[in-house]
Amino acid sequence: MHTDKKNRKKPLIILIIVLAAVAAILYMAADRYLIQHVKVNNALDTGNTGTENSDTNYTSDDWNYNSDSVTIKINKVSTGTGDDTVTYYTADVTLKDSSSLKSAFADNKFGQNIVEDTSVIASANNAIFAVNGDYYGFRDDGIIIRNGKIFRDIPARTGLAFYSDGSMKIYDETATTAEKLIKEGVTQTLSFGPALVEDSKAITGLGKVEIDTNFGNHTIQGSNPRTGVGIISPNHYVFVVVDGRSSGYSKGMSLDEFSELFVNLGCTDAYNLDGGGSSTMYFMGKVVNNPLGRNHERGVSDILYVG
């Protein structure tokens, strides 16, 4: 009799253990990918006030912006036919002063799982032009300096640094610190990658590269939507957003193709930012590209913008 009771209890105990394990896994997944973890509120003072562009003496249209301090020329390019069609957007940006290149966080908060659409963050910061950043909130390492302020100093990968003299350099995070970079004049860092161009030469063999190995991340090989930034000379940058995963409109680019594109655009150095559904270009109040061919943005944790 006692044996029968014990035998009946075993399946119940096993079920409780399984349910507890599943609940723990679901909580960990939600904590990692859904639950907001705010580390810094009111993270960045961008100096923007009001809702109108503070650069009052300017001319613009759907593809161009010109003032004494900022020049932006956007171009749409489509190549190939049918399933091999690729559509991408380039933005040639020249600044009078490096301080016009800024960064902003979703909801102006630094942390994990805090996201807003690129256009929402851009609008909130009175941006003329913007692209999505490195999605720093997806990981907990890397050197993160934004608008001259240190937010994270956990070296992990090849990073990108913008300097107050208008230069842009690709660097090894593990060979320096955030404090050293600040002393050298760094105003912004991005931690994603890989590097695409160095010393005017395309970096090849990027087909098997991985940026992160944490759960939920995938390789970024193959043809995909892309976002990247390159430099021609101090304060003269080229931003590129490639649409993808949309048959007949744009299949996307491989990293090797992306690196060659930046060389063809005259860049001495270039760096890959977060791509896929994040890839978004914003200009004068609207999204320029067509994310995933569905005109639907994906929330991101940060942007790089001209203001």
User: pLDDT for 106-164, tens place per residue?
Assistant: 999 999 999 999 999 999 999 999 999 999 999 999 999 999 999 999 999 999 999 99
**Pick from 130, 152, 132: nearest CA to 143:** 152
Tell me how crowded residue 102 is: count the other CB atoms within 10 A of its CB: 23
pLDDT, mean of residues 177-200: 98
Rg of the Cα atoms in the chain: 22
**Pick from 275, 265, 256: nearest CA to 196:** 256
Of 24 and 256, the one with more pLDDT: 256
pLDDT, mean of residues 180-202: 97
Task: Write down the pLDDT at residue 211.
Answer: 60
And the tokens for 288?
């320029």
Tell me what the pLDDT averaged over the chain comes to.
89
Q: Which long-range contacts (CB under 8 A, 24 or more apart) does 58-64 make?
A: 60/284, 62/283, 62/284, 63/283
Residue 41 has pLDDT above 50, yes or no: yes
Q: pLDDT band at residue 214, thresholds of 50, 70 and 90?
A: very low
Task: Write down the pLDDT at residue 56.
Answer: 72
Task: Write down the pLDDT at residue 6.
Answer: 57
% of residues, the chain, pLDDT over 70:
83
Task: Write down the pLDDT at residue 45.
Answer: 80
Q: pLDDT band at residue 49, thresholds of 50, 70 and 90?
A: very low
User: Does the bond joining 194 to the residue before it have cis omega, within 30 degrees of 0?
Assistant: yes
Residue 230 to residue 32: CA distance in whole angstroms:
32
Angle value at C-alpha 128, between 36 and 250, nearest 5 degrees = 75
pLDDT, mean of residues 184-193: 98
pLDDT, mean of residues 239-256: 96
Residue 21 has pLDDT above 70, yes or no: no
pLDDT, mean of residues 48-63: 71
